[in-house]
Structure 1
Amino acid sequence: MSIKFKNVTKEYKTGTNSFYALKNVSFKANEGEIVAILGPSGSGKSTLLNILGEIDRATDGEIMFGDLNVSKLSDKELTKYRRNNVGFVFQFYNLIPNLTAFENIEVAAELTKSPLKIEEVLEAVGMLQNKNKFPQQLSGGEQQRISIARAIIKNPKLLLCDEPTGALDYNTSKEVLELLDKINKMYGTTIFIVTHNTSIASMCHRIIKLRSGQITDVKLNKERISPKEVEW
């Protein structure tokens, strides 16, 4: 499904003061794209991602997910929207420590009516041989692979990644980027990646730049390269 933001604003009020995390943000992303969201700290990147996933609600504006106006959904309808359409990947994995890799994914699979097969997803992320290990028995890169597997087990149309390589070293970061690219091609998943690393944008189809809660640039990447070629 395509994603469209039209004049999306997020305002926070404290007493008589107000702060705009996003202000009149508009863009469109096509189905099956990998989109980079770039900008300095405090630019509104994570707020934009949270509103995309409807973890947070916009103060004003319109958000379209295909033909669905997400902005008008009730809280109950939003829960169903997130459950069926959105997967999240975070910087610090957020795996349940007392569950195995398989069980962490299984918990997410139970949230949706038509999950992918757990073994299929484990194989796709290169972790089938580690399915019975607990998170503390896995490296950071391996934990992030399980985190990605947990997010895609629902076969979401939209995968939202908040600094997915932020806690990883260079080589492991490259492996995770290659995995995200593989997931995009294998399942046709639309992927948004929030990152401080501007080099990652070179592997993305579309690049959105933010500053002080406003978009400064949106462009299609006509010279997209493979994750293996990304250098920083």
Structure 2
Amino acid sequence: MSTRSTTEQADAGPTSGGGQAGEGLSHLVQSLSHLGKRHDKVSVHQIREEIGERSFGPFLVIPSLIELSPVGGIPGVPTALAAVVSLFSLQIAFGMKHLWLPDFVENRKMPGDKLKDGLNFLRPPARWIDKVLKPRLRWITRPPAIQVIAAACLLLAAAVPPLELIPFGSTLPMGAIGLFGLALMVRDGLLAFLAAILAGGTVYLLYRLVL
């Protein structure tokens, strides 16, 4: 798949939260919250169907949102989310047109009520974020920069398992991944710079953990 196809996928719309132009982070949060309301258990496959496949950004944002929700407090969940991010990041880096997950990941489920409650809590900040973000420095969200972002997300995902041992430690790398995803959704290169700063904070935290 050419880098041109990758660009088209990443740039499907300025705020393509669910794959349609004009839909931002708040729409993405609302859609997933309603999904949790409709089902006692929500599978990864159901989440993929809900958001569609026009934009790569949501596939990086959603694991971060889940990690910030009460579901992220379940032991092992941050590491499982990081594994999903790793698979997506590899495929984005290699210019895959349609992102793929193995069946055993697609069939993983999480409590619908916790997903709903956690995402409902994020609705106000999501609406504020939608007002602040806008397309700027777009070259940072296009190839070859998009491959660099994917590589950074892969490295951040690798940092999650050891940081999960620290209370809220995994929130830092997953937050950086979420910001990178948002940057791709709205084509906001400035946000990608902010994500890079958070990524630097992750490196520092790992350094302190090792020492």
Output the TM-score relative to the length of structure 2: 0.30
Larger radius of gyration: 1
Name whichever structure is richer in helix by fraction.
Answer: 2
Name whichever structure is richer in strand by fraction.
Answer: 1
